[in-house]
Chain A
Amino acid sequence: MAIITGTNWNAYDAATMTAREIYGRTLADLGKANPKIVGVTADLAKTTAIVHFADAFPDRFFNVGIAEQNMFGVAAGLAKAGLIPFASTMAIFTCLRGGEQVRTDIAYQNLPVKIIATHAGISFGHAGTTHHCTEDLAVMRSIANMTVICPADGIETSKAVQACAYTPGPVYIRIGRGFEPPCYESDHYTYEIGKAITMKEGSDLTIICCGIAVLQSLQAAKTLAEQDNISVRVINMHTIKPLDREAVIKAVTETRRILTVEEHNVLGGLGDAVASVIAESGKGCVFRKHGIQDTFATIGYAEDLYAHYGLDANGIVDQVRSILGMEFEEDENWDDE
């Protein structure tokens, strides 16, 4: 897996630019260095910001119109011709509308198509449920050969996009609509696909999270330290597949309480991926999956929805307090080791 250390993307100000904008600019920069990088979209060049690549390289950018199935088939064909296609549309039209093409044309043939899907989760809340996507992690992680990434913010999106260009096989990167504040203060950190990042050390409980939940979890951890004297570890599990099993087991062993937080249905996403690792490890711990509880989200602006579904710092604080109230160690049948 490619390791992205320091970076050239300081020019992109994550405080004023959406993750999509940073993606589009990063891709345009990658295109300068590598003529094999090509782009495709289905009438969402501006919306996904792949337009920055399109403007820079019109001879290797293809807009197929509103036809996602065709778009992923075309991307597979471009890869068959020896190129590295980046394909962008909204997350819901990727994992379900074009899902079979993603699975059969791209993943089954193990082609190096890089899918950057925007408006994931409930980030486009006011668009209504047709444009929400709380299913993509479940779909994508069950497709063999697929690498699945959910960056924490624009800076990490840039790193993930760089890394995926040099990672073999298909990669799925989900980003939101992107008006959320950045999580990282600078890009001076090492990013490697499949390696979780411990954002903050802690000993009482670990929050394993991805995407927008990383910043909110960090803020929650700060509140919990100040108000409750609770030491919370925060792990940014930016790669959902392959999952960093070691980071999960270490957290279980050292903190004995795990909370997963994701902007996704709690069925099939990060929480289930972490749960599998814990269950197979044979180690016991308190565990809770926090996210969208198997329901279609209501309508509203993203910030209001995050608050409603407890995906903001306040909601995460509540979850942690509730978990810490669980007296699991007093169970007589509990075998701690």
Chain B
Amino acid sequence: MPMASSEKQLLLDTAQDLRLSLIDVMAWSGGSHIGGSLSIVDILTILYFKYLKVDPKNPTWEDRDRVILSKGHAGAGYIPVLAKKGFFPKEELKSFNHFGSPFAMHPDSNKVIGCDVSTGSLGHGLSIAAGIGLGSRYLKKQYKTICILGDGECCEGSVWEAAMSVAHFKLTNVITVVDRNRLMIDGFTEDIMSLEPFGEKWRSFGFEVIEIDGHDFDQLDDAFAKAWSAAEKPVLILANTIKGKGVDFMENNVVYHYASGDSAVCEKAKSSILKGGQ
């Protein structure tokens, strides 16, 4: 069922607002993984503002859905989402990266309210998701665990160890999303270490692969609706995204994997976000 236009508009507005926050965090923190943060904004937006059952007033609620940002370097994209959801005031993000702050480049679940798992070292998240999936199934819990992987991260062998487990144990309560923005630090994934045929790889590991445009809310909505009701095979959402999405001069530009910005750059970025309508 197509999304109502009012609902879609709300998601578009939320995503736009989050992108603006990301630019603020880039400035406050003195630098962030802005490219790979912008590429997952729409994925995080539909998750936190449509799908996830979480309660900012009770962040450790036992039955909440869990999110694991396996590409932990996008913490500067993820943590503002938690602020917007109401886990803590956005004002607190001004301390990002600074001495004693709960907020670092890579999120610490023991410090960031609403963050379920500490991540940062790549290739760890999906194993933890598998563990939560096995544990919650044993405990007869209904919640979902969503694991967001970077595409470059999938060079790590441990991702595929975990993939085997998710498929072997038929963990349909784990939803895996790959942010396929095609860039890693040193260049394009296909130049550094080719991942293609990427969807085929996941399929052969036993996943139901749903390939979508990771910036299209209708497609994201369909994909997560299917993933939420998966009963046979675990779902992998292969989200084709654009690194730096929403800021014209950052899009597909490897320079903006990690960047800092002076006020002029931030203004330019914000103006591009506002012009983009997202």
Contact = CB atoms under 8 A, between A and B. Distances in A.
Nearest to A98: B158
A81 B139 contact: yes
A29 B116 CA distance: 32
Contact of A73 (B62, B66, B127): B127
B135 A105 contact: no
B234 to A, nearest CB: 14
Contacts of A128: none
B121 A100 contact: yes
Most buried by B among A64, A77, A83: A77
B132 interface: yes
Interface string A90-133: 00000000001100110011100000000000000000000000
B164 A67 contact: yes
A75 interface: yes
A76 B128 contact: yes
A74 B124 contact: no
Interface residue tally on B, bucketed by range: 20 to 34
B136 interface: yes
A56 to B, nearest CB: 15
Contact of B129 (A38, A62, A77): A77
For chain A, what secondary structure do more than half of its interface residues adopt (helix, strand, loop), or is it mixed? Answer: helix
A70 B118 contact: no
A73 B130 contact: yes
Given A59-B138, A64-B165, A81-B139, A74 B118 contact: no
Contacts of B109: 109
A71 B130 CA distance: 10
Contacts of A109: 109-110, 117-118
Given A62-B134, A67-B161, A73-B130, A80 B117 contact: yes
Interface in A57-85: 59-60, 62, 64-65, 67, 69-83, 85
A74 B125 CA distance: 9
A75 B162 CA distance: 12
B253 to A, nearest CB: 30
B66 to A, nearest CB: 8
B132 A80 contact: yes
B133 interface: yes
A38 B127 contact: no
A82 B139 contact: yes
Nearest to A57: B138
Interface string B156-170: 011001101100110
Contacts of B132: 77-78, 80-81
Q: Which of B141, B165, B168, B169 has the most CB of A within 10 A?
A: B165
Interface string B119-161: 0110110111111111110110100000000000000011001
B120 A69 contact: no
A69 B158 contact: yes
Contact of A83 (B138, B157, B158, B161): B138
Interface of B: 62, 66, 108-110, 116-118, 120-121, 123-124, 126-136, 138-139, 141, 157-158, 161-162, 164-165, 168-169
Interface of A: 38, 59-60, 62, 64-65, 67, 69-83, 85, 100-101, 104-105, 108-110
